[in-house]
């Protein structure tokens, strides 16, 4: 199962609210500067692949701001820790955005990493620290009597919406939603629409071309892509894909070699159709750029209703660095 990156308070509430069916949700509050957070991250990813009946999520924090203070009464310390000595150091945790800060504050997060476990909208457990063994014990305890690790649950991850491709699933939850972008997009019909399950769509602006940039919040393998379009005449035709590129300009598109070029046909937009990629070239992907060159019937603008990447998160297997730190 993919790990959902929480970007807004609405996303958090929606995630917790989906537990009306007794599904366990585990949220990892972490910081990029935190050594234990980085150490436990591969294990957390492994749990997400192992316990497919459980929803795993992360709420990121930015770089810690270490404030150099000469006098203890310079500011109100609040919950910050202090050290005896000539100088006082106070670490303030600045979250990646104000909304995530509200989420972590509302949940009472005071240390990194903190793992919180929710069921039916209620917090059932909490663990501070990077103890791999204790995290899994709490997952086993609260996942439910009828659930089993690695089972064929129909909820979420690679076992849901696999579009007939065993072992893979919809990777939308692996996309960093607040960092997606598109060049030559209309303001109303913008890139965010293609990652929604509704009738909205992305449409190019001054001509038929647009460039889509898609970052992922964890490394993934991409097997295929599902394209949806409302109007086949305006649907993409030639699509150049660039693996592990974060950005690409129109001037660069002619000089930089693409990883793969797709020549789409009307049948590729049918309900049960998916377009396979050269899987060997998309094994460790952190970002993609898609350059839509033209459309099916040379219309003035190009439209794309939905874009779904089908694949799986990369499972971490090296646990040696974690087990020796379980007691720290």
- By annotation, the residues acting in catalysis are 34, 37
User: What DSSP designation does 178 have?
Assistant: G
Burial class of residue 218 in the structure, from the number of CB atoms within 10 Å of its CB (0-12 exposed, 13-18 middle, 19+ buried): buried
What region, left, alpha or beta, does residue 184 occupy, with left being phi > 0 and alpha being psi -120 to 50 degrees?
A: left
- Cα separation of 328 and 326, whole Å? 6
- Which residues neighbour 257 within 8 Å (Cβ) at sequence distance 6 or greater? none
**Beta strand residue intervals within the chain, DSSP E:** 3-5, 25-31, 55-61, 65-69, 88-92, 114-119, 122-128, 169-170, 181-183, 202-203, 210-228, 238-243, 260-263, 275-276, 285-292, 303-304, 306-313
Q: Residue 245 in contact with residue 322, Cβ under 8 Å?
A: no
Closest CA to 100 of 194, 177, 42: 177
Closest CA to 308 of 228, 229, 212: 228
Cis peptide before 113 (omega within 30 of 0): yes
Residues composing the chain = 328
Q: Helices 9-17 & 98-106, crossing angle to 10 degrees?
A: 40
Structure token digits, residue 8? 């807004």
Closest CA to 201 of 178, 227, 183: 227
Q: Helices 132-142 & 35-50, crossing angle to 10 degrees?
A: 40
Rg value, the chain, Cα = 22
């Amino acid at each position: 199962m993919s790990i959902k990156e929480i970007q807004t308070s609405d996303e958090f509430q929606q995630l917790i609210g989906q537990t009306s069916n007794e599904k366990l949700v585990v949220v990892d509050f972490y910081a990029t500067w935190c050594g234990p957070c980085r150490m436990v991250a591969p294990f957390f990813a492994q749990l997400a692949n192992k316990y497919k009946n459980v929803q795993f999520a992360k709420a990121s924090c930015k770089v810690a701001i270490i404030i150099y203070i000469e006098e203890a009464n310079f500011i109100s310390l609040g919950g910050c820790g202090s050290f005896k000595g000539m100088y006082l150091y106070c670490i303030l945790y600045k979250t990646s955005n104000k909304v995530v800060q509200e989420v972590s504050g509302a949940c009472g997060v005071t240390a990194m990493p903190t793992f919180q476990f929710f069921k039916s909208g209620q917090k059932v457990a909490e663990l501070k620290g990077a103890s791999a063994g204790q995290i899994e014990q709490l997952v086993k305890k609260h996942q439910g009597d009828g659930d089993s690790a690695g089972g064929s649950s129909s909820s979420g991850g690679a076992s849901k919406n696999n579009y007939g491709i065993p072992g893979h699933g919809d990777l939308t939850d692996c996309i960093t939603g607040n960092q997606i972008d598109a060049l030559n997009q209309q303001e109303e019909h913008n890139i965010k629409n293609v990652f929604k399950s509704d009738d909205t769509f992305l449409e190019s602006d001054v001509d038929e071309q647009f460039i889509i940039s898609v970052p992922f919040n964890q490394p993934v393998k991409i097997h295929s892509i599902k394209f949806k379009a409302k109007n086949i005449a305006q649907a993409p035709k030639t699509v150049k894909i660039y693996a592990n590129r974060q950005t690409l300009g129109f001037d660069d598109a002619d000089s930089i070699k693409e990883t793969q070029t797709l020549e789409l046909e009307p049948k590729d937009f049918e309900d049960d159709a998916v377009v396979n990629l050269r899987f060997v070239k998309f094994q460790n992907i952190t970002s993609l750029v898609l350059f839509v060159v033209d459309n099916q019937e040379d219309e003035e603008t190009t439209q794309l209703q939905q874009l779904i990447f089908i694949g799986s998160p990369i499972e971490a297997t090296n646990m040696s660095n974690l087990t020796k730190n379980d007691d720290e």
